[in-house]
Chains A and B, each alone.
Chain A
Amino acid sequence: NAGVTQTPKFQVLKTGQSMTLQCAQDMNHEYMSWYRQDPGMGLRLIHYSVGAGITDQGEVPNGYNVSRSTTEDFPLRLLSAAPSQTSVYFCASSYSVGAFGGEQYFGPGTRLTVT
């Protein structure tokens, strides 16, 4: 099992550019989520999905879109990048919402810089 994989590892964008951060898991997990990690703020939930075709907003969804067409993939789209979106982005998955006491498996992260 590869677990949770994310690409790219690093990305630099100019303000106004768009891009998609990729996330895939091979554990047949229903629940997937995206977090951003900023210094002094811990991890904040951007969007999450409880299954294919179902997504919902987290704590900081503005400027981001998601879709979940398959169980395995959960891409995060930045529509028009802004410097405030400079962050480290983590994708996570778990078997189901609330199952196993909420143990989530995290990808290695994507470090995004917007200039």
Chain B
Amino acid sequence: GNSVTQMEGPVTLSEEAFLTINCTYTATGYPSLFWYVQYPGEGLQLLLKATKADDKGSNKGFEATYRKETTSFHLEKGSVQVSDSAVYFCALLNFGNEKLTFGTGTRLTIIP
């Protein structure tokens, strides 16, 4: 079956630090990959996505590249801000299954 593994949190960084949140997946076929973000007290929002191997998704300074050879979709940002404090979820959608499979989430806290 499908599964998503994210790095354990919580992650605490200083403002302007470089961020990496690791995500690896297990799936048959060619899934689409997503990063969702959940700000405090809110529902999830799509942050970025990639639908095929070597695609790079990007949004709000965040990037992730779909690496089929390593089955990974790591989230990166060059310089984080306090406003990036949130929980980040990696997810996949395997066509034919049509249900999003989520990782457990990584809580990120940025300190000024």
* A interface, CB within 8 angstroms of B: 4, 33, 40-45, 48, 58, 90, 92, 97-98, 101-104, 106-109
Contacts and interface: CB of A to CB of B under 8 A. Distances in A.
B100 A45 contact: yes
Contacts of B100: 43, 45, 102, 104
B102 interface: yes
A105 B49 CA distance: 14
Given A40-B104, A41-B104, A102 B43 contact: no
A108 B102 contact: no
A43 B89 contact: yes
A50 to B, nearest CB: 8
Interface of B: 4, 32, 34, 41-46, 49, 51, 89, 93, 95, 98-100, 102-105
A94 B50 CA distance: 17
A98 B102 CA distance: 16
A107 B43 contact: yes
A104 B46 contact: yes
Given A44-B102, A101-B34, 7 more contacts: A42-B102, A90-B43, A92-B44, A102-B93, A103-B34, A104-B100, A108-B41
A101 B32 contact: yes
Contact of A101 (B4, B42, B45, B93): B93
A84 B61 CA distance: 39
A44 B47 CA distance: 19
